[in-house]
């Protein structure tokens, strides 16, 4: 994101949010009536963590941040933001049912993972990438979805204050 110094200063810069601060700033820019535009040719580098454990921590905090953002900016929570949480809840239910009643309940998850594998393997012409894609998808959806569910429970249901996970060990 590019922003003029004057606009940045007029909005007092980034908020105290640890995660979602860029989205918060964007929302405040638009609410203040400043003009925004998409520059399709712009190259955007967004740092992801270097292993799946660190990536999980990052996306878990992103799920938490989405609820924090919805509290700061009512009306900004969209159905698409809830999909990873639905993945977590439905997956847990399917695994529970597969253990309790019939292994057949796991079939929807297996089919989803097959689709992820085939898509990635064919796009990248690599079975290894296909397998790694399954791990990445599970990490991303489980992390974000778990953070979202946790924050929904704590912030929306229990009415607690803003929080973040792994505060002292985020980069470890």
Identify the domain boundary among 9, 27, 46.
Answer: 46
Mean pLDDT of 136-157: 96
Same domain, yes or no: 40 and 77: no
Q: How far apart are CA 136 and CA 147, in angstroms?
A: 16
**What is this structure's pTM?**
0.86
* Structural domains counted in the chain: 2
Same domain, yes or no: 7 and 68: no
Same domain, yes or no: 22 and 63: no
The pLDDT, as a whole number, for residue 171 is 57
Same domain, yes or no: 17 and 71: no
Q: Which positions ≥6 away from 61 have C-beta within 8 Å?
A: 18, 19, 147, 164, 165, 166, 170
48: left (phi over 0), alpha (psi -120 to 50) or beta: beta
Q: Which of 9-13, 46-50, 144-148, 156-160 has the highest mean pLDDT?
A: 144-148
Same domain, yes or no: 38 and 52: no
pLDDT at 101 over 90: yes
Same domain, yes or no: 91 and 113: yes
pLDDT at 46 over 90: no
Same domain, yes or no: 57 and 36: no
The pLDDT, as a whole number, for residue 62 is 92
Same domain, yes or no: 41 and 51: no
Q: How far is CA 109 from the centre of its chain?
A: 20
Same domain, yes or no: 93 and 21: no
**Domain encompassing residue 128:** 47-172
Q: CA separation (Å) from 35 to 14, 80, 114, 116? A: 18, 25, 44, 39
Kindly report the average pLDDT of the chain as a whole number: 91
With CA atoms as reference, report the closest residue to 19 among 163, 146, 117, 145: 163
Sign of the C-alpha dihedral computed for residues 8, 11, 12 and 13 taken in this order:
negative
Length of the chain in terms of residues written: 172
Same domain, yes or no: 8 and 25: yes
Same domain, yes or no: 55 and 25: no
Same domain, yes or no: 55 and 15: no
Percent helix, strand, coil in the chain, to 5, is 65, 0, 35
Q: How far apart are CA 85 and CA 65, in angstroms?
A: 13
Mean pLDDT of 28-34: 93
């Amino acid at each position: 994101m590019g922003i003029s110094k004057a606009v940045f200063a007029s909005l007092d810069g980034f908020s105290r949010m640890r995660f979602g601060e860029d989205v918060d700033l964007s929302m405040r820019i638009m609410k203040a009536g400043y003009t925004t535009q998409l520059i399709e040719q712009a190259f955007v580098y967004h740092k992801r963590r270097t292993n799946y454990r660190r990536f999980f921590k990052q996306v878990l905090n992103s799920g938490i941040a989405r609820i924090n953002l919805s509290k700061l900016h009512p009306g900004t929570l969209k159905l698409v933001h809830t999909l990873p949480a639905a993945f977590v809840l439905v997956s847990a239910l399917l695994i529970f049912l597969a253990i309790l009643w019939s292994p057949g309940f796991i079939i929807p998850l297996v089919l989803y993972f097959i689709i992820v594998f085939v898509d990635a393997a064919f796009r990248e012409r690599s079975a290894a990438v296909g397998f790694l894609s399954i791990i990445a998808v599970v990490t991303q959806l489980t992390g974000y979805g778990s953070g979202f569910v946790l924050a929904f429970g704590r912030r929306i249901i229990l009415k607690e204050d803003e929080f973040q996970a792994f505060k002292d060990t985020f980069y470890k």
